[in-house]
Structure 1
Amino acid sequence: MESRSFAAPDLPGGATSDKRRTLRRKAQHSSTVLDGGQLADFKPDDAAPATQARVLRVAVPTPLRRLFDYRPAGAPPAGGWRAGIRVKVPFGRRELVGIVIACAAESDLPLAQLKPIVACLDAEPLPADWLWLCEFTARYYQHALGDTLHNALPVPLRQGRPLEARTRERWRLETAETTALEQLGRAPRQRELVTLLAQHRHGLVTSAVSAQGFTRAQLQGLARRGLVSCHEEPLTAATALSGPLLATPALTLNREQAAALAALHEGLDRYHPCLLHGVTGSGKTEVYLQLIEAVLGQGKQALVLVPEIGLTPQTLARFRKRFRVPVVALHSGLTDLERLDAWEAARSGRAPVVIGTRSAIFTPLARPGAIIVDEEHDGSFKQQDGLRYHARDLAIARAHREGIPILLGSATPSLESLAQARSGRYRHLRLTTRASRHAPARLELTDLRGRVRQGGLIPPVIEAIRQALAAEGQVLVFINRRGFSPSLACHQCGWIAECRHCDSRLTLHRQPPRLVCHHCEHQQPQPDACPSCGSADLRPLGAGTERTEETLATLFPQTPIYRIDRDSTRRKEALDQVLGEIRRGEPSLLVGTQMLAKGHHLPHVTLVVVVNADAGLYASDFRALEQSAQLLIQVAGRAGRAERPGRVLVQTLHPDDPNLRLLADSGYDALAYQLLEERRLAALPPYRHLALARFEAVKEDDAQATAAAAGEALREWLAARGSPVHALGPVPAPMERRQNRYHVQLMLSAERRSALHEAAAWLVTRLEQESSRRVRWSLDVDPMTLS
C-alpha cells in the first residue's frame, strides 16, 4: 500500500522549486479568507474522471498527514467513484473507515501492489461543501486530513453506519370516525383506538399509541380493514409545516436594532461579514431572530453557534417559540444517534435552523443562507487539543466560500474582530441602549486592602447584598474558582498541598472532602495533619464557590442559595432545573463561575458582586487582560436587565490599576482600543500571526532537546530563504510540568499568514520525520493561550 503526501511541503533535505511553489500557493490559499482575500474551490490534485478511476486516494483516520492509494473492488457506486464516498479499507492489521479524496488512473506503485478496498459504504458522496470545509481546516491548522474528516463526522458515520435518517411510524385515521366505528361493530379496544386517532389530525407515532395502552396488533388490525394508514417519517425534523412562518410575532425593534437589521438585509445574497457590537441586554438575539426570519423566507437554512452547552436549551427554547419550522440542536450533551439525526436533518434540508456549540460548524447544510456566531469573543470556540480549530474563524471561511452573510455578535468583541471592523473588512453595527431602557450598570471598584473577609466578602459588600435581598431582588455572587478553597496550608510550617503530577496547588473541595488538581484531575483525601510537621492546624487559603456558598448560608439562612459551577451541574439537565428555579423571580443568592456570565438572561438580578477581579489582571499571557475585561463586563451585564436598574460591586486589591480604572470609568470599548494600540506597538495579534509548537515528554531533557533541535533547524531554514518569519524559543511552558510530563514551547511569528503557514508546514514535516517517540508534539495555529 502506497502512502501519498497531503499538501507536501518543502523537505528538510532540499526539494525542487516546483514543490516550493506548490507549498507557497497552498499556504496562501489556506490563509487568504481570514485576511479578506478570495478562495478558489477545492479541487483534489491529480483528480481523474470517475470512469477512469483505477486508484482511489483515501484519507484514513490516522495522525499521518498523507493519503493512501487503494484499488477499487466490487461494484462502483451508481454515479461512479467520486470524492466524498466512504469506504472500508485494510490498514495494517485493522479495517478502518476512510473517505475517498481523489480518483486517479495511475499510482506511483504498480497497481497489483495496491490493496483493494473492503467495501463501499455510500451510494452518494458526502456533501461537497462539508468536504471542502474539512480540507480547508486540515490545511489551515496543519492537521492530518484523515483525522480532520474523522472528527467532523458523527460517531456512527465514523463506524460505518449508513448515511440515512432514522425513521418512525406515524398512524393516521383514513376515514371519518363515525364510518370507522360503524365498520368495527363490537370491538371495544379498537373503537377506543379509532377515537384516539380521530383526536389527532396529523396522527400519532407508535410510541405515543403504545403509551395509551394500545398494541401494535390492534393498529395492524385497523390497517388491514383500511381504516388507518402507516407512514414512515424521519425521527428528527420530520414535519414540514405549511402556513405562517412565525408561531409568535416578532418584537418591535428600536431605532438601533432596526438600522442593524436593515444593514444585514442588504447583504443577504452575498458574503457579508458584520460585527454586531451591542451592550449586554441590548436585544442582539431579537436581531438574530429577525435575520433568520428573512433567511427562512428565502427557503434557506441558518446555522447559529453558541459558546456553551448551557446556553443551548435557552436559545433553543426561544427559537422554537418563534418559528413554526424544525429547529435542531447539535452539542455534546446528545447521544451519538441523536447527533447523527440532527446532522442528517441539516444535510437533507429538513432542519431550517441549526443551533450548536463549537463542533456544529462542521454541520452540512443543503441550502446555506446565513451563519450567526453568538458571543463571538468566547474562548470556548477554540478547540484546545487534537484538531485545534477555532469555530468562529472557520465560520468566516465557510461563509466566504458559500457566499452568504455571517454575523458575529458580542457585547465585548474580541480584539481580532474589532481590528477587522476598524479596517473596514467587517461592517460594524452598534447597539448602545438596553431593551430595558436602563443604562448598563457601571463597575464600582471596592478596595479589599486591609479589610476582614468572610468567604471572600467584605462587610460593605455583605451589607449591599442584604439591602438587595430586602428589596426583593436577586444577587449574583461571581467567583471564578470552584471548590472550597484554592489552597490548603499548614499554619505551623507553611506547607502547601501541591499536585504530585503538576506544577500547581491542589484545590480543597468539601462536597465530598478531597483535594483536587484542576489541571490533571488528580484527587486525594484531605489530610488530618500536615505531612511535613505533623501539625493539625491546616487552614484553607482563599475562597472558592463552595466556601462563599457556606458563608452566605450562615449570613442569610432564610434565603435560597443556588451554586452553579462545573461540580454542581454535572448531572444532565441540572443547570436547566436550577435556572428554572431562578427565573421564578423569588429573592435568592446565586453563586457561580463563568458558567453564569455567558449570555444568560436573569431578569430579577439587581446586584452583581465580583469576589476577586484581580485573578487575570497580571497573568503572563498577553490575552489575559482582554479576557478578564470581557468576563467582568459579561458578568456585570447580568444585572438590571428588566424593570429595575442594576448595580455591580467589584472587589479588588488594586483599585488604582490604570487598566481596571479605565474599564470601570469608560467601559470595555475604551480599554479594547487601548489594548489594540498596545498590540500594534508590540507586534502581537491581531497585527501579527502566531503558531505555537508544543513539545512534551516524561523527561525534561528529551522535551528540551527535541524542541531545541527543531528550533535550530527552523531558523537555518528561514535564514536560507530570507523568510520574514521569526522563531522564538524554545522556552518552558508557563506550567512546565503537567500530568507528569514536561512541556516546552517554540513560537513562530509572522506579519503575513502565508509566510507563517509555509514555515509551519516545513516544521511539521520535519517533526514527523525526525522527532523521537519519547516526545509528543503538536502545532497550534492562532493559539488563544500560551499556556
Structure 2
Amino acid sequence: MKNSILNIAVDTPVSQIFDYYPPEGSDCSPKIGQRALVPFGRREVVGFIHGISNDSSLPKKKIKSCKSIIDKDPLINEGAHELVSWCKNYYHHPLGKTYATAVPRYLRAGKTPAIEKMLFQESKDKKKLKAHQKKAYDGCIKLLKKSAPILLNGVTGSGKTEIYLHLMERVLSKKEQVLFLVPEIGLTPQLYEAITSRFGNCVGLIHSSTTDKSRAKAWLAAKENKLSVILGTRSSIFVPFHSLGLIVIDEEHDESYKQQSGLMYSARDLAVVKAKKSGCGLVLGSATPSYESLLNAEKGKYSEVRLTKKVFSAKPPEKKLINLNANSSKKGLSAPLFRSISKALKKGEQSLLFINRRGYSPVTMCEECGKIEECPRCESNLVSYKGTGKLKCHHCSYQKTAGTECLVCEGKKITVGHGTEKIEEELKEKFPNEMIIRIDRDTTSSNKKRIEAFGYAKSGDAKILVGTQMLTKGHDFPNLSLVAFVNVDQGLFGSGYRSSERFAQQYYQASGRCGRRNKKGLVLLQTHNAENEALQALLNDSYMAFYEKNKEDRRRLEWPPYTYSFLLRAESPSEKNVFHFLDNIAEFIKNSEYISSIKLLGPIQSPIGIIRGKKRGQLMLISKNRKKLHMIGGRLISFIDAKKLGTKVKWSIDVDPTDHS
C-alpha cells in the first residue's frame, strides 16, 4: 500500500477526484470509505477515500501525502459507497458534494461520537389487524419474497400505519434493521411514540431539528448494528445500515422527498436503488400515489396491494361546492362556510380549513396609484405579515416594515388575497371564544412549537384548525368532521403539468381526514369556477378514477411519467451571461447525435426571473429514452468543463425535476 494512490473526494463544486499518497509513517492501512485529513490549497480538509489505484495522471512531484487517516475501519461501508457512486452518476453531481449531502456534518468535520446500543425488544402491545388489513399484510409478506418494490395503495384511514408496524416487527424479530421515511418533521412524534411503545427504545431520529451530533450518533449506530430503526426525513436514505431488512416510505407521493438544491435527489427513487442493492424489502405507502409509482405498478415494475376499506366504518364524507360568485367573502370565508363551522362547534366537533399560502396576504398595493410592494432582490411580491407588521420575501431573506402609506403618492395601502394568517384573524373575530390553531411553517418553526400545536389539534382542545398542507399529511384527528378548502382555484389552476395531480392529492388527503370514528363528515370547496370539469371530477370520482382520466393527457402531451426530463438552470447578475451559457448548451444539444430522440424546450427566462439579485434562465430536455438522456447529460458536463462555460454563471442540472420555477 506504500506506493498506492488514494483517490479522495473533497467537498468542492468540481467533478474531479483528487489523488494523494497515504500518510507518511502511518501504520493505518488505507481502505475505501475511510475519512482522511488532506492538504487542500492553504487549508487542511476532511475527505473520503473513494478509490485506491496504482497510478495517477498527475506527475509524482505534484502528488501530496495525506496528513492522516481518521478511521481505523471505513466509515462508509460498501452499500453506502455504492449508493454515493450511483447518486453521483445519475444526478450528474460532483462526487465531493455528493458525499457532503450523504454524510452528517459532525462526521464530515472529522469527529466521531460515542454510540450506545438501542435494539429491538419483543412487542408488548401488538394490535390485532382488521380483516382488510390482514389481507393486505399477507399480500405484502407474499410479495416481499420477490425483488420488486410494493406499492401499498390504501385510502386515508385504511390503517396503513398498523400494517407498517406489523411488517417491521417481522423484520426486527429476525435481528434485521428498518428505515422508515416520512415527508415532514411533524409526522415523526406520533410515529416515534407508536414504534417505541411497541418495540422499545430502538429508534434513532434524523431530521433538520435534531442536532448535528445526535444525527451522527444515529447514523453511526445503524452502521454498527447498534440501532434497530431509523425514523427520519429524506436525508435518512443515506444511512449505511449493517443489516437492512425493510424500507418504508410513507406518503410516497409527497414532493418533500425531492431535494430542490445542491444534490437534487429523490429519496423515494433512491430507496428503490438502495433496496435493490441491499436486497431488502421496500414498501411505498400512500392514499394518493404519485403517477410515477402508479405507472410502475401498471408496468409490473412494482407490485401493488390495495386497501379500499377504512378501519372505522364511517360513510364517505358529503362533498359540496360553495360558489363564491353567489356567496361573496370579505376575507376569504363565505357565509355558508361560517354556518357549517358553527354547526360543527355546536356538536363539539372540529373543523379544518386548508389554504396552501402562508402569511396574511400575498399582495400589498396602493389603493390610489396601484403600486405593488415588490422585493428589490427578487421578481416576486412581498408577503404581508400583519402580526409582525412586516413585508417579507419568500424567496430571500429580505423584509421591511409594512407601513400604511404609499411612498409614491401617499395613498392608503391595502392587502389583496389571503393567507393562513388572514383566515385565522377572520375566524377569531367570528368565534372569539374558541381555541383556533394555525399550523404552517411560521407557527411551527421549532420542535417545541410543532409538538404543542399538533397536541392541541389531536386532543380536540382546538376546535378550529387552519393551515397549509402540513395539516393534511398522515395525521389522525379523531374529532374532525368538517374540512374546507378556502381557495380551490389557487390549486386547480396552478401552472405546470403537475398542478392537477398535486391538487388532487391535497384534496383527497385533506378530505380523508374528516368523518372518522363514525362521525358524519362534510367537505366544502370554495370556488369561482363551480362548473369546471376537473373540479366536478374531484367531487364525483375516487383518486384512482381521477388518475385514469388525467394520465391520458400526460401520455398525449408526452410529459412525465411517460417521458424523462432534465432541467438545466443558470443564474448570474448579468442576463447576458445567463443566456450566453444557455445558448451554447442549446447549440451543443442540437448538434448532438441524440437530438432526434430528445425534445429541447428553451432557453427561456425562469418563471421566477430574478432571485437574490441574480437573473435566471433555464432549458429543459425531454426524452422517452432515459439512457440517451443521461448520455447527453454526461457529455454536456464535459463540454461545459472543456469550454469553461460555467465561469460566469452558477448552473445546475435537475434530473427528474418536480419544481420548474
Whichever residue aligns with residue 579 of structure 1, its letter is F
Match of 2:433 among 558, 574, 577: 558
Whichever residue aligns with residue 514 of structure 1, its letter is K
Consecutive unaligned residues in structure 1, runs of 5 or more: 1-50, 167-233
Determine if the alignment matches structure 1 residue 776 to structure 2 residue 653. no
1:304-361 Cα distance to aligned partner (Å, 9 max, x none): 1000111111111111112135111111101111111111111111211111101000
Match of 1:485 among 358, 361, 382: 361
1:169-203 Cα distance to aligned partner (Å, 9 max, x none): xxxxxxxxxxxxxxxxxxxxxxxxxxxxxxxxxxx
CA distance in 2, matches of 1:645, 1:555: 24
TM-superposed CA distance for 1:583, in Å, is 2.5
Q: 5 Å matches for 1:82-481? A: 82-125=31-74, 126-162=76-112, 165-166=114-115, 234=116, 238-240=117-119, 245-249=122-126, 251-324=127-200, 326-481=202-357
CA distance in 2, matches of 1:666, 1:155: 47
The 3 A distance-change label for structure 1 pair 122 and 586 is closer
CA contact (8 A) 1:331 1:356 kept: yes
**Of 281-290 and 609-618, the range deviating more from structure 2:** 609-618
The 3 A distance-change label for structure 1 pair 77 and 376 is farther
CA distance in 2, matches of 1:521, 1:477: 28
CA contact (8 A) 1:165 1:341 kept: yes
TM-superposed CA distance for 1:112, in Å, is 3.5
Whichever residue aligns with residue 778 of structure 1, its letter is S
Determine if the alignment matches structure 1 residue 67 to structure 2 residue 17. yes
**Of 680-689 and 497-506, the range deviating more from structure 2:** 497-506
Determine if the alignment matches structure 1 residue 614 to structure 2 residue 564. no
1:39-78 Cα distance to aligned partner (Å, 9 max, x none): xxxxxxxxxxxx4752111111111112111111235565
TM-superposed CA distance for 1:587, in Å, is 6.0
Whichever residue aligns with residue 746 of structure 1, its letter is L
The 3 A distance-change label for structure 1 pair 266 and 77 is farther
> What does residue 735 of structure 1 align with?
608
Percent identity reads 38
Match of 1:678 among 548, 553, 578: 553
TM-superposed CA distance for 1:109, in Å, is 3.1
Whichever residue aligns with residue 160 of structure 1, its letter is G
Whichever residue aligns with residue 222 of structure 2, its letter is A
TM-superposed CA distance for 1:710, in Å, is 1.3
CA contact (8 A) 2:118 2:203 kept: no
TM-superposed CA distance for 1:157, in Å, is 1.1
Match of 2:6 among 56, 59, 72: 56
Match of 1:655 among 530, 546, 566: 530
Helix, strand or coil at the partner of 1:434: coil
1:4-24 Cα distance to aligned partner (Å, 9 max, x none): xxxxxxxxxxxxxxxxxxxxx
CA contact (8 A) 1:486 1:541 kept: yes
CA contact (8 A) 1:474 1:604 kept: yes
The 3 A distance-change label for structure 1 pair 490 and 325 is closer
The 3 A distance-change label for structure 1 pair 583 and 783 is same
TM-superposed CA distance for 1:403, in Å, is 1.4
**Of 737-746 and 439-448, the range deviating more from structure 2:** 439-448
Q: 5 Å matches for 1:488-567? A: 488-535=364-411, 537-567=412-442
CA distance in 2, matches of 1:82, 1:345: 20
CA contact (8 A) 2:120 2:228 kept: no
Match of 1:623 among 498, 505, 508: 498
CA contact (8 A) 2:26 2:68 kept: no
Helix, strand or coil at the partner of 2:516: coil
> What does residue 225 of structure 1 align with?
none
Helix, strand or coil at the partner of 2:459: coil
CA distance in 1, matches of 2:589, 2:142: 47
The 3 A distance-change label for structure 1 pair 644 and 53 is farther
TM-superposed CA distance for 1:439, in Å, is 3.5
> What does residue 212 of structure 1 align with?
none
Whichever residue aligns with residue 11 of structure 2, its letter is P
CA distance in 1, matches of 2:27, 2:52: 13
CA contact (8 A) 2:3 2:21 kept: no
CA distance in 1, matches of 2:546, 2:441: 30
**What TM-score, normalized to structure 1?**
0.82
> What does residue 576 of structure 1 align with?
451
Q: 5 Å matches for 1:690-729? A: 690-718=565-593, 724-729=597-602
1:588-626 Cα distance to aligned partner (Å, 9 max, x none): 111111111111111111111110011122222111111
Paired residue total: 659
1:198-229 Cα distance to aligned partner (Å, 9 max, x none): xxxxxxxxxxxxxxxxxxxxxxxxxxxxxxxx
TM-superposed CA distance for 1:269, in Å, is 4.8
Helix, strand or coil at the partner of 1:98: strand
CA contact (8 A) 2:2 2:22 kept: no
Helix, strand or coil at the partner of 2:150: strand
Whichever residue aligns with residue 409 of structure 2, its letter is C
1:717-748 Cα distance to aligned partner (Å, 9 max, x none): 23xx5652232210111111222111111111
CA contact (8 A) 1:77 1:123 kept: no
> What does residue 626 of structure 2 align with?
753
CA distance in 2, matches of 1:479, 1:616: 9
Consecutive unaligned residues in structure 2, runs of 5 or more: none
CA distance in 2, matches of 1:586, 1:780: 44
CA distance in 2, matches of 1:667, 1:498: 41
Helix, strand or coil at the partner of 2:492: coil
Whichever residue aligns with residue 395 of structure 2, its letter is H
CA distance in 1, matches of 2:56, 2:366: 69
Helix, strand or coil at the partner of 1:532: coil
CA distance in 2, matches of 1:509, 1:395: 39
CA distance in 1, matches of 2:120, 2:161: 24
CA contact (8 A) 2:120 2:172 kept: no
CA distance in 2, matches of 1:157, 1:239: 20
The 3 A distance-change label for structure 1 pair 90 and 543 is same
CA distance in 2, matches of 1:131, 1:388: 18
CA distance in 2, matches of 1:307, 1:299: 26
TM-superposed CA distance for 1:773, in Å, is 2.8
CA contact (8 A) 1:279 1:440 kept: no
TM-superposed CA distance for 1:252, in Å, is 2.3
1:112-155 Cα distance to aligned partner (Å, 9 max, x none): 33111111111111211111111111111000111111221111
Whichever residue aligns with residue 96 of structure 2, its letter is G
CA contact (8 A) 2:434 2:463 kept: yes
1:634-663 Cα distance to aligned partner (Å, 9 max, x none): 111221222312111111111111111111
CA contact (8 A) 2:9 2:17 kept: yes
